[in-house]
Amino acid sequence: MKPRYLVPNDYMADPAVHIFEGKLFIYPSHDRESGIPENDNGDHFDMNDYHVFSMEDIDGEVTDHGVTLKVEDIAWAGRQLWDCDAAFRNGKYYLYFSLKDKNDVFHLGVAVSDTPNGVFKAQENPMKGSYSIDPCVFADDDGEYYIYFGGIWGGQLQRYRNNKALESPALPAGNEPALCPKVARLQEDMLEFAEEPRDVVILDETGKPLMQGDTERRFFEASWMHKYRGKYYYSYSTGDTHLLCYAIGDNPYGPFTYRGVILTPVVGWTTHHAIVEFKGKWYLFHHDSTPSGGKTWLRSIKVVELEYNPDGTIKTIEGIR
């Protein structure tokens, strides 16, 4: 299939996608023209609400269910309602989101609804012990749910070590192991971590952790987890080198061995995605800035088919065509 833009009349990015009630539900962030100058902290990504979209077929109509959560409806909110994800458990739908508090520190929040399209009602406080950005929730076959998160630079992951804030935040040196994204199992009620977050370690082909200076393979942001033929595929963005990469492991905690590039650079700066199987085929949902003329803060979500090689590796998709 040719890549297809899904919401041509608005700017949506960072799509998380799940099958609920037999349909594809898309949970993106909502870009807007904030007027804030572009910088490495991402202050120009000043999003303030979420919409939810659904599709009954991959080439069918896209239904906009409208605004489902706003900054002003979140008691602990400061600014910047970044990437989100959703999950279903015990008859409820849960929306996990990234948001700065009133001290400009990112945390993860969770909001609850009786339906996949919301409206979602946010909890009074952020998730205990949460920090940084880009939540991704994965439901394993055994009924356990895991949340992956983290992002460097504006995502503030470099401010923490061993789940504690540093007095002097800094990235590791280029010849030191890269900062790791985080994973934690969720409690049965889906509202808090059931354990201390752990490092998601990505290994090279020799079994050694990737180095911070390995910018074309190391983690930057945008965690996603899916399962294929019994293996766990952890995928992510390399950020400033603009690649979507993936690594494969034997369990949801890893470690994961780097296996290659899913998507080469697109128009724009960020790359963020979801991978989902629907009606017997696999799809990559992502975004680029082509419709806005290359404005990095005004992105549009799109979908393209994703294919595997016989050995389970993923065929690389060319981002700019």
Domain CATH number, residue 195: 2.115.10.20
pLDDT of residue 55: 98
Domain containing 62 equals 4-200+272-301
pLDDT of residue 66: 97
Least Cα distance to 289 among 54, 65, 5 occurs for 5
Q: Is 262 domain-assigned? A: no
User: Which candidate in 14, 31, 85, 134 is catalytic?
Assistant: 14
Cα radius of gyration rounded to whole Å, the chain: 18
pLDDT of residue 164: 97
pLDDT of residue 320: 80
SS3 239: helix
Annotated catalytic, 142? no
Does an H or E element contain 64, and which?
Answer: strand 62-70
pLDDT of residue 2: 86
Q: Is 314 domain-assigned? A: no
Q: Is 100 domain-assigned? A: yes
pTM given for the model? 0.97
Q: Is 40 domain-assigned? A: yes
Per-residue pLDDT tens digits of the chain, which is 321 residues long = 889 999 999 999 999 999 999 999 999 999 999 999 999 999 999 999 999 999 999 999 999 999 999 999 999 999 999 999 999 999 999 999 999 999 999 999 999 999 999 999 999 999 999 999 999 999 999 999 999 999 999 999 999 999 999 999 999 999 999 999 999 999 999 999 999 999 999 999 999 999 999 999 999 999 999 999 999 999 999 999 999 999 999 999 999 999 999 999 999 999 999 999 999 999 999 999 999 999 999 999 999 999 999 999 999 999 985
pLDDT of residue 1: 84
Backbone dihedral region for residue 142 (phi beyond 0: left; psi -120 to 50: alpha; all else: beta): alpha
Annotated catalytic, 205? no
Q: How many domains does the chain have?
A: 1
Q: Is 9 domain-assigned? A: yes
User: Which candidate in 216, 221, 307, 311 is catalytic?
Assistant: 221
